[in-house]
Amino acid sequence: MIQTENTAIVLRRVNYRDNDRMVTLLSPSRGRIEAVIRNCRKPKSHNLNAAELFSLGDYMLVENAGHMTVTSVRLIETFYPLRSDYTRLTCGTWLLNLAEAAAEPEQEQQELFMLLLHTLSRLAFSDQPWKPLLSGFLLHFSACQGFKPRLNHCVLCGKKLGEVPPLFFDAAEGGLVCGNCRRTREQIPLSPEQVRWMRKALKEGSASWVNTPEAEAPFTVLRAYVEGKLGRRIRSGALLPEE
């Protein structure tokens, strides 16, 4: 029997038996963890909030015969404001599902963990528009998962690109395409403002997401790109606000 403490965010939870709950956790050091929290659904349980989506805490885990059990939790944050805004709740749930789709068990996920934590904080505790927040998340998510889009040169001919249109995004090739190389409708046109924003967001990090006009954040393009690289549509995305 091995006991360890892991700081983690709850990505998924499913009721189990009469009073238990199965949770999927994202840990910066151990990646995705599946564990059971026993008796957490009893009315007076101290662990009820720790078994909810978005909860951030220090989870004490006991491993026995390959199964993980949470024995205690020091709850740090619940991101409660998300629950009072349907749009932001939907966006947050989609972020959790993306993280779950990417994280593997027993693989370090420090970058993904910090990216998720930071974006959830902005989503819950600021009034910033959701589209730039999610677009910035997708850009940095692609970078930390190893498929950062190429934004400075045409992915087909290698020509260095400025911001002068026409410029197109080719999801299959993983970056921008110049006007001379565009061949299919799947290569989506981007405005100079969108190209400028993506380059700045990757270079400067989340500071550049603040007060971004929504038209500059190409959320639809980046969502299709990331979900294509993951090889799956994130089902909760069907509940996201209309574009």
114-148 pLDDT per residue, tens: 999 999 999 999 999 999 999 999 999 999 999 99
What pLDDT digit, counting tens, does each position of 189-242 carry?
A: 999 999 999 999 999 888 778 778 888 999 999 999 999 999 989 989 888 987
Residue range 94-120, pLDDT digits in tens: 999 999 999 999 999 999 999 999 999
Evaluate if residue 17 carries a pLDDT over 90: no
The pLDDT confidence band at residue 243, using thresholds 50, 70 and 90, is low
Percent of the chain at pLDDT > 70 equals 99
What average pLDDT does the structure give for the chain? 93
For residues 65 and 57, the model is more confident at 57
Domain ranges of the chain: 2-79, 81-235
Residue 160: band (very low, low, confident or very high) from pLDDT cuts 50, 70, 90: very high
Q: Are strands 2-16 and 188-190 parallel, antiparallel or unpaired?
A: unpaired
The rounded distance, in Å, linking the Cα atoms of 229 and 231 is 5
Question: Which distant-in-sequence residues (6+ apart) come within 8 Å of 70 by Cβ?
Answer: 23, 35, 36, 37, 38, 47, 50, 59, 60, 61
In terms of Cα–Cα distance, which of 104, 103, 79 is closest to 92?
79
pLDDT at 26 over 70: yes
Whether 38 contacts 55, CB under 8 Å:
no
Residues 61, 77: Cα–Cα separation, whole Å: 19
Question: CATH homologous superfamily of domain 81-235?
Answer: Recombination protein O, C-terminal domain (1.20.1440.120)
- Residue 51 to residues 13, 56, 70, Cα–Cα distance (Å): 7, 10, 10
* pLDDT value for 82: 97
Nearest Cα residue to 179 out of 193, 168, 171, 169: 168
Nearest to 32 by CA among 12, 16, 58: 12
**Residues 74-100: what's their mean pLDDT?**
96
The string over 92-115, giving b where at least 16 C-beta atoms fall within 10 Å of a residue's C-beta and e elsewhere, is bbbbbbbbebbbeeeeebeebbeb
CATH classification code of 2-79? 2.40.50.140
